[in-house]
Structure 1
Amino acid sequence: MLSRISIRSKITIVLVILLVAMTGMGLFAIRQMQAINANAVDIQTNWMPSVRVLGDLRAGVITYRNVIREHMLSELIEEKLAQEKTLETVVEANMKARQTYEKMITSPEERALYNEWVETWESYKKGTQEVMALSRKAAGSYPREAHDLNTTTVNLIGIKSDNILKKDIDLNNKGADLAGQEATNSYNTAFMLVAIMLGAAVLIGCVVGFYLVRDVSRGITSIVTPMKALGEGDLTAVVPHQGEKTEIGTMADT
Structure 2
Amino acid sequence: MRLSIKSCLIGLFCLTAAISGTQGLVAVSQLDSIQTQVDEVATNSIPSVDVLHRLNTLTRDYRVKFYRLIVASIDKTSIAQNKTVLINTADDILRLRKQYEPLISSAEGRSLYEQYAGRWDMYLHELEPIIAAAEAGHRDEALAMLASGARAVALGKEISDLLQKDVALNKKAADTATHSSLVSISQAVRTAYVAMGIAVVTSLGAMLFCLLGISRSLVDMAAAMRRLSGGDVAVVVPSVGRRNEIGAMASAVQVFKNNLIHTRRLEEDTALARASAEEQRKAGMRQMADSFEAAVGGVVGMVSSSATELQATAEQMT
Amino acid at match of 1:15: F
Q: Which residue is equivalent to 1:185?
A: 183
Are 2:128 and 1:129 aligned? yes
Q: Which residue is equivalent to 2:296?
A: none
Q: Which residue is equivalent to 2:237?
A: 239
How many residues are matched?
Answer: 250
SS at match of 1:210: helix
Amino acid at match of 1:28: V
Q: For residues 40 and 217 of structure 1, what CA distance do their matches in structure 2 show?
A: 51
Structure 2 stretches of 5 or more lacking a match?
254-318
Q: Which residue is equivalent to 1:175?
A: 173
State the TM-score, normalizing by the size of structure 2: 0.67
Deviation at 1:65, TM superposition (A): 0.6
Deviation at 1:193, TM superposition (A): 0.9
Q: Which residue is equivalent to 2:163?
A: 165
Are 2:144 and 1:145 aligned? yes
Deviation at 1:216, TM superposition (A): 2.6
State the TM-score, normalizing by the size of structure 1: 0.81
Q: For residues 130 and 142 of structure 1, what CA distance do their matches in structure 2 show?
A: 10
User: 1:125-154, CA deviations, whole angstroms, 9 ceiling, x for partnerless residues?
Assistant: 222233435556564x7975244224x332
Paired residues of 2:217 and 2:246 also in contact (CA < 8 A): no
Deviation at 1:234, TM superposition (A): 5.8
Q: For residues 36 and 107 of structure 2, what CA distance do their matches in structure 1 show?
A: 21
Amino acid at match of 1:88: I
Are 2:272 and 1:253 aligned? no
Q: For residues 126 and 60 of structure 2, what CA distance do their matches in structure 1 show?
A: 16
Q: Which moved more, 1:115-124 or 1:39-48?
A: 39-48
Paired residues of 2:19 and 2:198 also in contact (CA < 8 A): no
Deviation at 1:108, TM superposition (A): 2.2
Residue 144 to residue 252, structure 1, CA distance change in 2 (3 Å): same
Q: Which residue is equivalent to 1:106?
A: 105
Q: Which moved more, 1:22-31 or 1:242-251?
A: 242-251
Q: Which residue is equivalent to 2:93?
A: 94
Deviation at 1:87, TM superposition (A): 0.8
Paired residues of 1:220 and 1:248 also in contact (CA < 8 A): no
Deviation at 1:222, TM superposition (A): 5.2
Paired residues of 2:71 and 2:143 also in contact (CA < 8 A): no
User: 1:75-127, CA deviations, whole angstroms, 9 ceiling, x for partnerless residues?
Assistant: 51232332112111111221222233233323222221111111211222222
User: 1:41-69, CA deviations, whole angstroms, 9 ceiling, x for partnerless residues?
Assistant: 32333333333332332222111011022
Counterpart selection for 2:43 from 42, 45, 67:
45
Amino acid at match of 2:71: L
Identical counterparts, % of pairs? 22
SS at match of 1:103: helix
Q: For residues 88 and 233 of structure 1, what CA distance do their matches in structure 2 show?
A: 113
Paired residues of 1:36 and 1:186 also in contact (CA < 8 A): yes
Q: Which moved more, 1:185-194 or 1:74-83?
A: 74-83
Q: For residues 165 and 63 of structure 1, what CA distance do their matches in structure 2 show?
A: 14
Q: Which moved more, 1:228-237 or 1:184-193?
A: 228-237
Deviation at 1:194, TM superposition (A): 0.7
Q: CA RMSD in A?
A: 3.1
Higher relative contact order at CA 8 Å, sep ≥6: structure 1 or structure 2? 1
